Every structure is written in structure tokens, then in C-alpha cells.
């Protein structure tokens, strides 16, 4: 039995993979007759759907997997599915780990749910694209079996190794980068490093499981921390600084617009996919989200409100930043994707709701927050619940400042301050991009789970003093993966396909209010000053607790 077949067997044993039995229909007189008539009226449509062909896009995230079926004829999303999961329990408060088998089960369930939503069968899927959370360290042995749980982007146990490598490389490496995690593995778990023959990233591993072929892709590989961005190749000397064996553990890089491989019979049987369909090269979630937001040319920046928050946009040339606040990643089209990442975004708003919401929904709290003035009456939420990477404060903590009598009792204040704090963490990226010579954006595209909040979109428009739009499909990473796969089977380049088939945007646009923009500018300066005063000096403490709520 191959290592991939064994992995499928292990995953099947760990998760309930038996198909659900269809429940027998219960005849209920006139109700059945009415349903039969409705069913007969839609038979033609159902038959047409069964003949449609779809591009499947999968986004393997931190808190779950999302799947989208993109109709290749209608050029529109036809079905959606999801599967939630969390982190492994860990004795270290700074660790964040997952079993890669969890991702495979997430793909299986999300695909099944997307097919059900589209009323389609697996044989209607023509191609697959995979998006994955960036930076995660997946270690495989000589037979392709997982050596240890994957250390994720939000794992900060390698902060010391990141500082050490940053000094060697001449830039401020954060603990999120994969290279620091490999260095940590070598130092802390040498026996596991000795067993490791291949180091890959989450989306690489899922593609490997699907196809039996191991490669890497330049956009996602940019997040390892050892790439020569000008040459768009792995820098062997930097790898040697991590460990003399590191370079040989990294798979070959593939260019954009190529096929990774084809779904094998074993993988197809486990995941519910047709064997033999092509798998596109895939990429990291931010690169795929850029595709799903139609961000393949300069002018538009994407603000992604997920577990982490990111700000990014297309650029034709690399944008080196010695402070490493802006990462000069490769994108998924052959260009670059300068990006700022905050480790704390929707989790901050979610915890504010849990702690201060009194059981009210996000929608109810957002309605209350409308009456809160910009700056939340002087209450500021420094959102660093799991530390931070931009600025590089891995041991920072979430902090409420400016509290006065009544602040905690006034409806919506803390909730509004949480949205503002998460927004300000991203606003610093825009200011740094401007300092690096990038042109200001003509508009911001807000995506991810938090984009569903109209109140939050308005805060972003005011704080950034920029027009805010939002795609109709919030799961832009999964959509981007589907678009890349669709481009592959069409024969067009990914950029050309997205330009010809731009994702739909909502008519509801948020325009900045000049008075609110001025108030946010003043409040942002206080936000920065307080953060530097509290966390600029290095502090050492355990700051990370398990958190599994998704903003919804």
C-alpha cells in the first residue's frame, strides 16, 4: 500500500467517511402530490445541471475548508460547501498545530456539501484548484508519511529562531515564516528533523494527496522565507543558513498556469472526485483571494477579514521592504503581491462579542455600533490576542485602553473598538506601502467573513479614506482556486481568464466620510503610540489561547 493510500486509510479511520444512507421517502397525501408536481416542473433544469461541468475550488484554511463549484458555461458560482475544524490541543500556549489528515477530511466533506448545494454529481467536476493557508510546515518522511503535526502560520514558538535567521538574512523575519519553524524543529525536535525528507506547505500537501506528485508553487513558497524574489527561485545559501539539508527537502517549483497533476483513483475515491481530472498548480490563500477578487492589475487593494487580516494588491515588480512589514510575495499570475498580514482580525471581533455582547448576534451588535462615534469615545482595542507579526511583536497581548466609567456598559463601544483595532492593524500596511513608493489605491475590495458586516466596511472606508467595494462571493480564495482551474482547462492564462471573467461585485458601496476619516486619523496615531509604548520593548509571556469561532 502506498503512503498516500495509507494516509487515506488513516483519515477514513479517524473520520466517519461512510456515505450517509438516503432516508426513505414518507408519503403524505397531498403534500407528496404537491412535491411531485414541483419536482416534475424542475426535472428539465435538474437534468441540465447534471450535464453541466464545473471547476472545483477548495480553500484549506485554519478554521475550516471551503469549496466552490464554478459553472464553466454560465461563468458563475453554482454551489458552495464547507467543513469546520480547529487546532490540536497543545501544552504550549504559543503553539498552533493541525493534523494534515484533518484537511483531507475537510476537503472531502466540503466537496460533498458543494455538490449537494449545486444538485450535481462528482462526474460533473472537470478540474480542481487548491488554495491553502500560508506558511504551515508540513514534514514528510521518505515514504511520504506525515512526521508530526503541521505547525501553522499563527504558531509563534519559533520566535527566537526567526530573530536569529532575520539577523543572518538582513531583514526582520517573523515567527510565521516556515523557515523559522524548520529551524525550531532542528533545535527542539532533532529526531523529527532527521526523519523529515520533504518540507512542504498545506496546499502542497493536499495537491500531493490528490495527485501523488510533489511540487511547490512560487506564490505560496514566497512565505517560506528563503526565496530570491527577483529571481523567483529558492535561495540555496539561505536554506543552508537554516540547515545544510533544508534545500534538498524542498520540492521543485512550478510556474503559474500549469497542471500540477491528475487526481489518482485512490484520492478520488476518498475525496469524492473523478479520477483523472487535472489539478491546477494552486497557491496560498492570499494569492488565490486576489484572483477571486479580480485583483490581477494595479489600482485595487484587497482587505481580507479572516482569522488573520491581510492587505495586498498586484504589482508588476517586487517591492522589497527592509522592515519586512510588507512582504514581497510572488502572486499566482507571474507578478508580485506586496502584502501586510495581521495575525488578529475576526477573532478579535468574535471575542468582543463573546465577552461583551450579552448573547447578541454580530448583526445586532453592529447595529448598536452605528451610534458609536469614530474612535469609540477614546476606547482603543489593541488587537494582539496571539501576538503580532506586523509589527514584529510575537509576545504582544490584546489590550483595552481608554476605559472610563460607563465605557464597558455603553452598547456597542467595545465591539466597535474591536473592529477599529483590527482595521488599524491593517491601515499601517497602507501607510508603509505609500512609504515604499506604491501608488494609493483607487478602491479597496473587502473580502472574507468580516466583509459581511456593513458597519465594518464603513469603518474601513473611513479609516482608509478610500472607497470600499465587496465581491458578491465572500470566499474569494476558494473562488480564485476555481478560476485558476477553469483557466487551466480553457487554455487561457490565469490573468487573461480573470480579466475576461471578472468576479461580480455588490452594488452596495461604502464611501468615506471626511469628518469620520479625520477622527480615525487622530485615533490611529494614539493606537500606534500606545502599541509602541506597551510592546515595542520585547516582553516574554504566554499569550495564546485556543480560539475556534468563525465570524459569521
Identify the bridge partners of residue 261 per DSSP, sorted by sequence position: 279
From 229, 253, 281, the end of a domain falls on 281
From 260, 281, 302, the end of a domain falls on 281
Report CA 446 to chain centroid distance, whole Å: 14
The helix (H) or strand (E) run that includes residue 142 is none
User: CA-to-CA distance for 502 and 473, rounded, in angstroms?
Assistant: 12
Question: Within a 10 A sphere around the Cβ of 93, how many other Cβ atoms?
Answer: 15
Q: What pLDDT score was predicted for residue 202?
A: 98
59 and 198 co-located in one domain: yes
Domain annotation covers residue 460: no
254 and 351 co-located in one domain: no
User: CA-to-CA distance for 269 and 271, rounded, in angstroms?
Assistant: 6
| Cell (9 digits) for 207 | 495537491
Q: What pLDDT score was predicted for residue 11?
A: 52
From 231, 262, 281, the end of a domain falls on 281
Domain annotation covers residue 137: yes
| Cell (9 digits) for 345 | 482580525
Q: What pLDDT score was predicted for residue 6?
A: 55
In the block, residue with C-alpha cell 471573467 = 501
User: CA-to-CA distance for 317 and 205, rounded, in angstroms?
Assistant: 29
Domain annotation covers residue 41: no
Asked if 381 and 349 touch (Cβ cutoff 8 Å), the reply is no
275 and 176 co-located in one domain: yes
User: CA-to-CA distance for 288 and 333, rounded, in angstroms?
Assistant: 10
Asked if 127 and 53 touch (Cβ cutoff 8 Å), the reply is no
254 and 111 co-located in one domain: yes
Domain annotation covers residue 485: no
Taking alpha carbons only, the member of 227, 209, 137 closest to residue 217 is 227
273 and 390 co-located in one domain: no
Domain annotation covers residue 307: no
Known active-site residue 228: no
**pTM for the predicted model, two decimal places:** 0.84
219 and 76 co-located in one domain: yes
Asked if 147 and 361 touch (Cβ cutoff 8 Å), the reply is no
Q: What pLDDT score was predicted for residue 400?
A: 96
Asked if 441 and 466 touch (Cβ cutoff 8 Å), the reply is yes
Give a three-class secondary structure readout of 478-504: HHHHHHHHHHHHHCCCHHHHHHHCCCC
The torsion region of residue 231 among left (phi > 0), alpha (psi -120 to 50) and beta comes to: alpha
For residue 360, the domain's CATH number is 3.30.420.40
Domain containing residue 93: 3-13+53-281
User: CA-to-CA distance for 470 and 473, rounded, in angstroms?
Assistant: 8
Taking alpha carbons only, the member of 481, 52, 499 closest to residue 279 is 481
- Catalytic: which of 105, 220, 285, 331? 285
365 and 274 co-located in one domain: no
Question: Within a 10 A sphere around the Cβ of 5, how many other Cβ atoms?
Answer: 16
Helices 454-464 & 514-535 angle (0-180, nearest 10): 80
User: CA-to-CA distance for 542 and 134, rounded, in angstroms?
Assistant: 23
Report CA 379 to chain centroid distance, whole Å: 29
254 and 387 co-located in one domain: no
Q: What pLDDT score was predicted for residue 544?
A: 34
Domain annotation covers residue 119: yes
User: CA-to-CA distance for 315 and 294, rounded, in angstroms?
Assistant: 14
Per-residue tens of pLDDT for the chain, all 552 residues: 455 555 555 454 444 433 232 223 223 233 222 333 334 334 444 443 445 699 999 999 999 999 999 999 999 999 999 999 999 998 788 899 999 999 999 999 999 999 999 999 999 999 999 999 999 999 999 999 999 999 999 999 999 999 999 999 988 898 999 999 999 999 999 999 999 999 999 999 999 999 999 999 999 999 999 999 999 999 999 999 999 999 999 999 999 999 999 999 999 999 999 999 999 999 999 999 999 999 999 999 999 998 889 999 999 999 888 888 898 899 999 999 999 999 899 999 999 999 998 899 999 999 999 999 999 999 999 999 988 888 888 889 999 999 999 888 888 999 999 999 999 999 999 999 999 999 899 999 999 889 999 999 999 999 999 999 999 998 999 999 999 999 999 999 999 999 999 999 999 999 999 999 999 999 999 999 999 999 986 433 333 333 233 333
Domain count, the chain: 2
195 and 277 co-located in one domain: yes
Cα angle at 166 between 160 and 170, to 5 degrees? Answer: 160
Amino acid at each position: 500500500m502506498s503512503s498516500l493510500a495509507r494516509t487515506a486509510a488513516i483519515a477514513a479511520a479517524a473520520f466517519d467517511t461512510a456515505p450517509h444512507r438516503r432516508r426513505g421517502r414518507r408519503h403524505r397525501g397531498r403534500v407528496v402530490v404537491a412535491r411531485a408536481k414541483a419536482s416534475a416542473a424542475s426535472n428539465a433544469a435538474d437534468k441540465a445541471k447534471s450535464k453541466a461541468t464545473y471547476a472545483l475550488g477548495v480553500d484549506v484554511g485554519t478554521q475550516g475548508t471551503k469549496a466552490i463549484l464554478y459553472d464553466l458555461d454560465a461563468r458563475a458560482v453554482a454551489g458552495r460547501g464547507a467543513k469546520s475544524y480547529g487546532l490540536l490541543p497543545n501544552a504550549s500556549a504559543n503553539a498552533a498545530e493541525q493534523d494534515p489528515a484533518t484537511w483531507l477530511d475537510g476537503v472531502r466533506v466540503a466537496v460533498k456539501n458543494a455538490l449537494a448545494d449545486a444538485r450535481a454529481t462528482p462526474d460533473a467536476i472537470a478540474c480542481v484548484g487548491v488554495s491553502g493557508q500560508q506558511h504551515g510546515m508540513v514534514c514528510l518522511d521518505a515514504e511520504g508519511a506525515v512526521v508530526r503535526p503541521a505547525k501553522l502560520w499563527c504558531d509563534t514558538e519559533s520566535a527566537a529562531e526567526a530573530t536569529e535567521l532575520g539577523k543572518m538574512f538582513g531583514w526582520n523575519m517573523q515567527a510565521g515564516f516556515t523557515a523559522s519553524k524548520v529551524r525550531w524543529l532542528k533545535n527542539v525536535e532533532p529526531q523529527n528533523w532527521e526523519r523529515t525528507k520533504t518540507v512542504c506547505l498545506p496546499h502542497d500537501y493536499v495537491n500531493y494527496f490528490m495527485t501523488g506528485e510533489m511540487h511547490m508553487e512560487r506564490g505560496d513558497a514566497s512565505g517560506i522565507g528563503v526565496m530570491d524574489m527577483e529571481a523567483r527561485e529558492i535561495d540555496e545559501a539561505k536554506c543552508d543558513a537554516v540547515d545544510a539539508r533544508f534545500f534538498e527537502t524542498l520540492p521543485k517549483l512550478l510556474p503559474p498556469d500549469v497542471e500540477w497533476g491528475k487526481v489518482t483513483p485512490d484520492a478520488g475515491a476518498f475525496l469524492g472526485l473523478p479520477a483523472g481530472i487535472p489539478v491546477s498548480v494552486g497557491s496560498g490563500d492570499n494569492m488565490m483571494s486576489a484572483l477571486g477578487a479580480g485583483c490581477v492589475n494595479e489600482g485595487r487593494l484587497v482587505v481580507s477579514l479572516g482569522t488573520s487580516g491581510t492587505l495586498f494588491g498586484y504589482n508588476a515588480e517586487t517591492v522589497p521592504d527592509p522592515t519586512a512589514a510588507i512582504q514581497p510575495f510572488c502572486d499566482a499570475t507571474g507578478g508580485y503581491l506586496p502584502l501586510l498580514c495581521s495575525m488578529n482580525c475576526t477573532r478579535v471581533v468574535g471575542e468582543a462579542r463573546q465577552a461583551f455582547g450579552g448573547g447578541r448576534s454580530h448583526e445586532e451588535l453592529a447595529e448598536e455600533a452605528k451610534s458609536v462615534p469614530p474612535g469609540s469615545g477614546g476606547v482603543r482595542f489593541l488587537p494582539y490576542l496571539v501576538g503580532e507579526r506586523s509589527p514584529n511583536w510575537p509576545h504582544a497581548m490584546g489590550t483595552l485602553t481608554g476605559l472610563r466609567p460607563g465605557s464597558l456598559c455603553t452598547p456597542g463601544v467595545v465591539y466597535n473598538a474591536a473592529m477599529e483595532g483590527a482595521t488599524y492593524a491593517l491601515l499601517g500596511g497602507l501607510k508603509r506601502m505609500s512609504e515604499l513608493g506604491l501608488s494609493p489605491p483607487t478602491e479597496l475590495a473587502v473580502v472574507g467573513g468580516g466583509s459581511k458586516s456593513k458597519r465594518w466596511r464603513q469603518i474601513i472606508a473611513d479609516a482608509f479614506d478610500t472607497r470600499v467595494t465587496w465581491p458578491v462571493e465572500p470566499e474569494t480564495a476558494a473562488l480564485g482556486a476555481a478560476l485558476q482551474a477553469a483557466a487551466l482547462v480553457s487554455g487561457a492564462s490565469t490573468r487573461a481568464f480573470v480579466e475576461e471573467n471578472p468576479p461580480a461585485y455588490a452594488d452596495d458601496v461604502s464611501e468615506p466620510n471626511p469628518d469620520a476619516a479625520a477622527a480615525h486619523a487622530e485615533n490611529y496615531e494614539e493606537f500606534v503610540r500606545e502599541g509602541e509604548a506597551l510592546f515595542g520593548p520585547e516582553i516574554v509571556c504566554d499569550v495564546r489561547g485556543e480560539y475556534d469561532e468563525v465570524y459569521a
